[in-house]
Amino acid sequence: MRADGETLDICRWLQRVGMPSVVGSRSSSTEVLVLLQRALLAASRRPGLRRAVVGNPATRRVVDRFVPGETRDDALGAVRRLTGSGIRVTLDFLGEDVTDRAEAIRTRDAYLRLLEALEPLQLGRAAEVSMKLSACGQGLPVGGHDFAVETVRPVVEAASAMGTTVTLDMEDSRTVDSTLAAVAELRKEHPGTGAVVQAMLFRTEDDVRALAVSGSRVRLVKGAYREPPTVAFQKKKDVDAAYGRCLEILMSGPGYPMVGSHDPALIALAHELAAQNSRQADSWEVQMLYGIRPDEQQRLAAAGTQVRAYVPYGVDWYGYFMRRLAERPANVRFFLRSLATKS
């Protein structure tokens, strides 16, 4: 099967807005989508396409599916709706790859204001926050790690004081050592601080074994970043198998597994492993992203599984959005078609 006319139009449009040619007219549809996904992941970390994507009015309604809004009030509206229907939340103030200390401090302050706004809702652990260390200065050329830990620390303290927690998102493989070290450092005083591990990385099974200790909150995800074959599985079936192995370790250990996936097979496996290990329903949870499989989130919660939605908000949605597009060919097609017809 060859690339269809619509896909080729999309590729021509991408070239017009400055993305390198990712496909030739002889590529198959599957090849085209794989190449587009790779290109989108690469673009998510570069300013190249940002202006064309963010500035295009057609983008907005696609973004709305994944991001409830740009303001704290938008986020709080989503919190009320979700918690009112039995879904817990983890809130992410969007931003990443900050290399300016003042901007990192603004990120910290945004989280502190968010926690202040959450306090009167008295949601306790039903509302926690997720933070990216790269938004807190981890990538600063000098002293980035220490600066990021000290930037996050007041947020972790404020969350603990409210009876809730912070989870440190995991970013690309070059940051894993620093991020896990930050989790270990913060856990000395705030043991509830959550870690995230990515099944696609070869190292993760070992990391999971080290993290599967009493009280340890660990979110297991497949991994959203483009990684080289030297450090990560490249095929979906290998990533899925690795996810299963990591899940077994977490579910049979004394920690608190957070199953971050929309994959029906892996969620079924999580339930099976929870039953095999005689886990109580409150000793683990499923986490999904805002706007993805919302009916399934409701169904699971109604059936007694603890479900938490990851709710991103803020103006800096570009990188997050591009990763969501890259995860699913249908999203890429839908989005690119709307751009190609409106520009």
Ligand X SMILES: Cc1cc2nc3c(=O)[nH]c(=O)nc-3n(C[C@H](O)[C@H](O)[C@H](O)COP(=O)(O)OP(=O)(O)OC[C@H]3O[C@@H](n4cnc5c(N)ncnc54)[C@H](O)[C@@H]3O)c2cc1C
Which of the residues are catalytic?
A: 169, 219
Q: Going residue by residue from 182 to 221, which x/- string records binding to ligand X, judged by CB under 6 A?
A: --------------x-x----------------------x
Determine the distance from the C-alpha atom of residue 291 to the mean position of all C-alpha atoms in its chain, rounded to a whole number.
13
310 lines the binding site for ligand X (CB under 6 A):
yes
292 lines the binding site for ligand X (CB under 6 A):
yes
317 lines the binding site for ligand X (CB under 6 A):
no
CB of 311 to ligand X, least distance (A): 10
223 lines the binding site for ligand X (CB under 6 A):
yes
CB of 288 to ligand X, least distance (A): 5
- Contact assessment for residue 95 and residue 314, using Cβ atoms and an 8 Å cutoff: yes
- Contact assessment for residue 237 and residue 212, using Cβ atoms and an 8 Å cutoff: no
Among the residue ranges 177-185, 208-216, 246-254, 287-295, the one whose residues contact ligand X (CB under 6 A): 287-295
CA gap 62, 67 in Å, rounded = 9
CA angle 222, 98, 217 (to 5 degrees): 40
CA gap 341, 343 in Å, rounded = 6
68 lines the binding site for ligand X (CB under 6 A):
no
63 lines the binding site for ligand X (CB under 6 A):
no
Q: Residue 89 or 158: which CB sits closer to ligand X? A: 89
Phi, psi of 224 (to 5 degrees): -110, 5
- Contact assessment for residue 195 and residue 180, using Cβ atoms and an 8 Å cutoff: yes
**The only residue of 59, 107, 151, 287 in contact with ligand X, by rule CB under 6 A:** 287
331 lines the binding site for ligand X (CB under 6 A):
yes
Residue 68 makes CB contacts below 8 A (sequence gap 6+) with 74, 75, 77, 78, 290, 311, 313
- Residue numbers at the binding site for ligand X (CB under 6 A): 169-170, 196, 198, 221-225, 260-263, 287-289, 292-293, 310, 324, 327-328, 331
